[in-house]
Amino acid sequence: MIGATEKPPRLVVLEHPDNERALEAIKDAISKKRTLIVAGRCRVNYEGRASSKLEEGERIVLIKPDGSAQVHRTRDHAPVNWQPPGSLFRTRLNEGELILRAFRRKENEVLEVIFKEILLIVSLDLIDTATFYLYASEEDMQKAILLRPSLLEEGFKPITSERPVEPGFIDILGRDKFGVLTVVEIKRNPATKEAVLQLNRYIQAFVKDERSKVRGILVAPGLAKGAQEALAALGLEVKLLSPQVCAETLSRRKKTGQLLDFIDDGEKV
């Protein structure tokens, strides 16, 4: 029995509970915004942007305090069915089955898990306040070029980053060593034809304002199919640069300060 007045333990485990105990534990965990794991034999229905049906089988359901839900099968990284954060939950017994519904009113989406048999219920009060750090993202590549413009090319001088233009934002705008305006678009993956077109749109929008000559440089670790042709056709350029090198540049800065761009005159790719 999970007391209403007592503080519940950080970890509650029920093996092979009957439906009544399971219902109580699930309602308790969700209402107290605990993390909930339910393993059991169930079928799953989803109705919303699409609809899906999954017949009976044993799966794991994970419900988080933020109101997200996911149903995992024995394979695949991604859940077979899910509901994003902010979902509402309704649990009830019906003719010997335990029915768990996660729904989002606005989006008109419903996820329904109908348990024939509950193998396990785990209710956890997880404490996790740590920050997640991701390195070598596209953002890091941008930071690295701004910190050390020679990563792009000798003599490049950034003017602004994230400059708004008609269709979006120019990653980096600057001038090359001859003073020519240069639009830089950064990709952390091999650049696709779409990326080239994106860069071109930015330049087009920009040229309207400036109507002077503008260079366009695509920064990426490589080129996907069709990108080379698109670049040539549009008269744009590419600078091969890996996210890893950018991440290294940033981490080295932390140790040696911001002098690198003045000291280092070599190119590393």
Partner DNA sequence: TAATAAATGTCGTTT
Partner DNA sequence: AAACGACGTTTATTA
Which residue ranges make up the site for a copy of itself (CB under 8 A)?
10-11, 13, 15-16, 35, 37, 39, 43, 49-60, 62, 64-66, 68, 70, 72-77, 79-80, 82-85, 119-120, 122, 124, 126-138, 140, 188, 243, 247
Tokens representing residue 32 in the block: 């107290």
Only one residue has tokens 């799966």, namely 59
* Distance separating alpha carbons of residues 113 and 43, to the nearest angstrom: 6
Name the segment binding DNA (CB under 7 A); options: 4-12, 16-24, 147-155, 163-171: 163-171
State the binding string over 67-96 for DNA (x if CB under 7 A, else -).
Answer: -x-------xxx--xxxxx-----------
Identity (one letter) of the amino acid at 26? I
| Residues 5-34, interacting with DNA (CB under 7 A) | none
Q: List, as own/partner pairs, every contact residues 103-111 make where C-beta atoms lie below 8 angstroms and the sequence separation is at least 24, other chains included.
A: 104/48, 107/48, 107/49, 108/48, 109/46, 109/47, 109/48, 109/49, 109/83, 110/45, 110/46, 110/47, 110/48, 111/44, 111/45, 111/46, 111/48, 111/69, 111/71, 111/81, 111/82, 111/83, 111/87
Three-state secondary-structure class, residue 192: coil
Three-state secondary-structure class, residue 20: helix
If one asks whether residue 211 binds DNA (CB under 7 A), the answer comes out as no
Which of the listed partners (a copy of itself, DNA, none) does 240 bind, with a CB threshold of 5 to 8 Å by partner kind? none
Name the segment binding DNA (CB under 7 A); options: 116-124, 148-156, 181-189, 205-213: 181-189
Residue 266 Cα to chain centre, angstroms: 34
* Minimum separation from the CB atom of position 1 to DNA (A): 33
Which of the listed partners (DNA, a copy of itself, none) does 226 bind, with a CB threshold of 5 to 8 Å by partner kind? DNA
If one asks whether residue 139 binds DNA (CB under 7 A), the answer comes out as yes
Which of the listed partners (DNA, a copy of itself, none) does 57 bind, with a CB threshold of 5 to 8 Å by partner kind? a copy of itself
Which of the listed partners (DNA, a copy of itself, none) does 261 bind, with a CB threshold of 5 to 8 Å by partner kind? none
* Minimum separation from the CB atom of position 127 to a copy of itself (A): 5
Q: What is the 3-state secondary structure (H, E, C) of 84-111?
A: CCCCEEEEEEECCEEEEEEEECCCCEEE
**Residues lying near DNA in the complex (CB under 7 A):** 46, 48-50, 52, 68, 76-78, 81-85, 106, 109, 111, 134, 137-140, 164, 167-168, 187-189, 192, 198, 224-226, 254-255
